[in-house]
Amino acid sequence: MTLFRRTLIAATAAAALATPFTASWAQDIKPRIIRFGYGLNEISNQGRATKLFAEEVEKASGGKMKVRAIGAAALGSDLQMQQALIGGAQEMMVGSTATLVGITKEMAIWDTPFLFDNAKEADVVLDGPVGQRVMDKLQEKGLVGLVYWENGFRNLTNNKRAVTKLEDMDGIKLRVMQNNVFIDSFKTLGANAVPLPFSELFTALETKTVDGQENPYNTILSSKFYEVQKYLTVTNHVYSPWIVLVSKKYWDGLSKAEQKVLLDAAKKSRDFERQDTRAEADKALADLKAKGMQINQLSPAETNRMREKLATVNAGIATNVGEDLWKETQAAVVRARAG
């Protein structure tokens, strides 16, 4: 063996040790550009986790797979991006499960008011068999779900009045997501529910087309809703997941190794995102107060009244998603609560 050849072999072996790939693994990963769209802005929890996802994909693919992250709904609203993924015109996105109900009706299970009491329960159920079952339903519609991220517990803001009791909801023109459970829920509470895409929300609030909206603290902060909203009521009326999606057309064209790169990076982004979101949420209320919002806590008695009123939408959700899934979810929540 020549010295040159020996050096070459040694160098190749060193390179193989330095990166987690065997030669065949590396061949299975091709140069790819993945357009990943999301609705919030870059400085949001959604933006930060997308950035981490992009870095992880690049690292794990030895720089071959590049994620082009495109925020602020520049590729369209959640609904538009979902269609682009189904058609194969866009590779990936993250968005609310609530905006998927028109495609996969089972997603409405996550819109059940007061389904989870805390984030730990949400993690257990979303990452468990029920979460997987609902996610798998997307495949027949041309979408592949990878992981759930936390959007979070939703709270109410508006410009009309401080909402401290159920009756205060009366006649408030409230933007809701494009989702029947949300429309029903807020009609039930006495509000005038107006479905709008998130990308139109800030302007709708600014121009007073609507009086209010509901979203987790993180979004109220990162989307600067405090600039156009006076009152915030801590309602925690529902927990919203986000879901990271891949176009099935695109996914099916990837090698096993490439799919693994995306799934592993998605899991890392999920763990980071939940931690980051919770840390931000913990101090967001103080931040929003400092920005001039008037914060109201609902008394436990008023929360109960709201909870009871909203329980009337549950039957509709159960019928819609199927009694089986409804019962399975309730059982999973009970188990998560116990353990």
Residue 80 backbone class (left: φ over 0; alpha: ψ -120 to 50; beta: rest): alpha
Q: Residues with Cβ < 8 Å from 223, sequence gap 6 or more?
A: 40, 41, 44, 201, 202, 215
Q: Which stretch binds ligand TF8 (CB under 6 A): 91-99, 111-119, 286-294, 307-315?
A: 91-99
Q: With binding defined as CB under 6 A, does residue 240 bind ligand TF8?
A: yes
Stretch that binds ligand TF8, among 83-91, 95-103, 115-123, 285-293 (CB under 6 A): 95-103
Selected from 177, 238, 313, 318, the binder of ligand TF8 by CB under 6 A is 177
Of residues 36, 81, 39, the one with CA closest to residue 58: 36
Taking Cα atoms as reference points, which of 320, 298, 174, 315 lies closest to residue 237?
298
User: Using the rule CB under 6 A, is 110 a contact of ligand TF8?
Assistant: no
Is 159 within 8 Å of 208 (Cβ atoms)? yes
40 binds ligand TF8 (CB under 6 A): yes
Q: How far is the C-alpha of 170 from the C-alpha of 172, rounded, in Å?
A: 6
Strands 231-234 and 294-297: parallel
Least Å distance, CB 79 to ligand TF8, is 10
Question: For the chain, how big is the Rg over CA atoms in Å?
Answer: 22
Please choose, out of 92-100, 243-251, 305-313, 320-328, the segment that lies near ligand TF8 by the rule CB under 6 A: 92-100
Task: Say whether 291 sits in a helix, a strand or coil.
Answer: coil
* Position 296 contacts ligand TF8 (CB under 6 A): no
Binding mask 113-152 for ligand TF8 (x = CB under 6 A): --------------------------------------x-
Helix (H, G, I), strand (E, B) or coil at 68: strand
* Residue 216 beta carbon to ligand TF8: minimum distance, rounded to whole angstroms: 7
The DSSP bridge partners found for residue 247 are 143
What is the spatial distance between Cα 58 and Cα 297, in angstroms, rounded to a whole number?
A: 44
What is the closest distance, in whole angstroms, from the C-beta atom of residue 26 to ligand TF8 in the complex? 34
Q: Is 61 or 112 the residue whose CB approaches ligand TF8 more closely?
A: 112
Does the footprint of ligand TF8 cover residue 95 (CB under 6 A)? yes
List binders of ligand TF8 among 196-215 (CB under 6 A). Answer: 198, 215
**Please, what is the minimum distance in Å from the beta carbon of residue 309 to ligand TF8?**
21
Taking a C-beta distance cutoff of 8 angstroms, is the pair 246, 85 a contact? yes
Q: How far is the CB of 106 from ligand TF8 (least distance, A)?
A: 18
Task: Please identify, using beta-carbon distances, which residue of 151 and 155 lies nearer to ligand TF8.
Answer: 151
Nearer residue to ligand TF8 within complex by CB, 40 or 69: 40
Pick one of 35, 61, 78, 145: the residue that binds ligand TF8 (CB under 6 A): 78
Quick note: the x/- pattern for ligand TF8 over 147-176, rule CB under 6 A, is ----x-------------------------
User: By CB under 6 A, is residue 219 in contact with ligand TF8?
Assistant: yes
Amino acid identity of 155?
Answer: N
Q: What is the DSSP string of 136-185?
A: HTTGGGTEEEEEEEEEEE-EEEESS----SGGGGTT-EEEE-S-HHHHHH
Cα angle 294, 300, 306; round to 5:
85
| Residue ranges that bind ligand TF8, judged by CB under 6 A | 39-40, 78, 95-96, 99, 151, 177, 198, 215, 219, 240, 242
